[in-house]
Structure formats: C-alpha cells, structure tokens
Amino acid sequence: MEALKSRRGSYRRALGRALVEAGERCRDVVVLDADTPTSTKTIAFARAFPERFFNIGISEQDLVDTAAGLAIAGKIPVAAAFAMFLMRAWEQVRNTIARDGLNVKLVGTHAGLQDYMDGASHQAFEDVALMRTLPGFAVLVPADEAAVRALVLEAVLNHKGPVYLRLGRDDAPVVYEEGEEFRVGGSKVLIDAVDAVIYAYGPMVGVALEAARILRRQGIHAGVVDVYTVKPIDRETVVRQARKAGLVFTLEDHSVYGGLGSAVAEVLSEEAPTRVVRIGVRDSFGTSARSYPELLEYMGLTPERMAERVRGEIS
C-alpha cells in the first residue's frame, strides 16, 4: 500500500488542464458544469474562456439537454459532473444525445471509490454499465494524468460522436510518460501475459501493476492490460492476451455486474472461452473512509489482496 500512498496525481486537475488546451486549439469547444466547477476543476476552463463556460446549476438533466442543444448548434460541448449524479440524467442521455448520435462529451468525475470521504451516496459503481449499453457511445476510463490529457484531447478534438469519460478524483497512479498516445477503441499491454492476465482500467491499473510486481517476486508472471476503452473494446488485444495466459482476471472499482468484467467476459465467451475471475464491487454499496488506500483495503481491492486472488487461483 505504500506505493499507492506515494502516488498523488490528480484526475480532475488533469481534466482542467486538458480542457483549457482543447479550448485553445478549437474555438467551438464549450464546457458546462452542474454547479461543481471547483470540484471537477472545470473552473480552469471557466477562467480561461468565461464566454464559453456555462454553469447550469444543480440540475444534471438540464446540463445534458443544454449540451445537446449546443451540439446541434455546431459546438463541441463537454458536460461535467460527479459521475454518481450525472447518472440522474441517464434518460436525457439516452433519448436526447444517444438517439441522435450528438457530438457531446460527458465527463463523470469522482467515480468509483475515489470519493472516499462522502460515502455510498457519492460513489458510482454503476455508471460504466449504464453508459456502455447506449448505442454509439464510446466509454473511456483513463489510468493516470497523462492518459486523461491524451484521451480528453482525442475525444474532444478528433472523435465525432458521444463519449462518456470516467474519471477519479485525486489519487492517480503514475503509469505513463507525458506524450503517450491513446485512441478511442484502444488498450495498452503493460505487461505481457504468461501465467495469468489482469485487465483493469482507471486507478485499478496502478493496483494491477503493483500486484503483478508482488506476484513476480513469488514466481508468478501476471500480465496487465489497461483497457482504457471499455467501448468499443479492443477485442483483438483482449482475446490475444487471454489465449496466452488461459486464466483471466478483471479488476475494477465498479460493480462486477455490467462493467469491465462483463465486457471482457462477453468478448471471450464469443471468441476464446476462458475462465474469467471478476474482481470489483460485488453486489454492495461503498462506505466512507479516512483515506483512499484505507477504503481500498476495506473493499478488498489492494495490490496485496489482488495478488492473493491470483495466487489462489493458480495454486
């Protein structure tokens, strides 16, 4: 856990910087928030481009519909809110954005276990499941600050169509060097599979890498794949790594129902039937804690616990 405690990148600050960069590159980029700009860090864009920033207030349904209208008018709207509360507007997302394939980028911050202080009411474990069912939606989950910057710029400036970007809060691992390239529909093989493979996304990529290091010292070689695009998932990489290992684990700070575990299992059931051990939040809500590492320990999502699960399945 010490490695986790020493890594203090910030997903939301990386978001603020990336939005400003996107705004500098394209005048059609506009940003909307649901009265949480200091928390989501969209305040950085508001200060740089006040005429292109819209604080809609605590009304996520209006946030989504206003973003849809701006997209119809030819703008590139980025609408941000806490992931849990953005799901209030799922009906509007479905019927207004998805049905018309509008070029709206939705950003859910403080997702998963990252909002450790506020407890179950603020911890979204269902958002990936909800958003990946929507036709035409891309679902992206960056692992660290460098990935946030790259994927925000890719989604906003290059990808045409609706996107859901799932972000944590502040406890971001350091996985990539600045300048690493990402594409919608891609993934990254960080450690090649041998005895087993762990598919992860977001902050769980750091947990998976640390678990792999623990296992390597114990003579077990576990691969790690950053599935930063949950939809459209990189089927080729998922299948190739699973065939190399024969034993598959998924790790996510999301419900095991409908999230990454389900997405990987769906692909493998069709193309390479393989045992899939889904590790995440299993049919429960979260709770509050004094720190993010403490909450990971309580939920059983530490590198040490992950390594134990892998070792137990191989033994």
Task: Supply the residues annotated as catalytic.
Answer: 60
CA gap 160, 152 in Å, rounded: 13
CA gap 190, 54 in Å, rounded: 39
CA gap 131, 138 in Å, rounded: 8
Q: Where are the alpha helices (DSSP H) in 73-109?
A: 83-86, 90-92
Residues 6+ apart with CB under 8 A from 68: 77, 92, 96, 97, 100, 102, 104
Q: Two tokens at 59? A: 């009304």
199 three-class SS: strand
For residue 31, give the nearest of 67, 78, 68, 71 by alpha carbon: 78
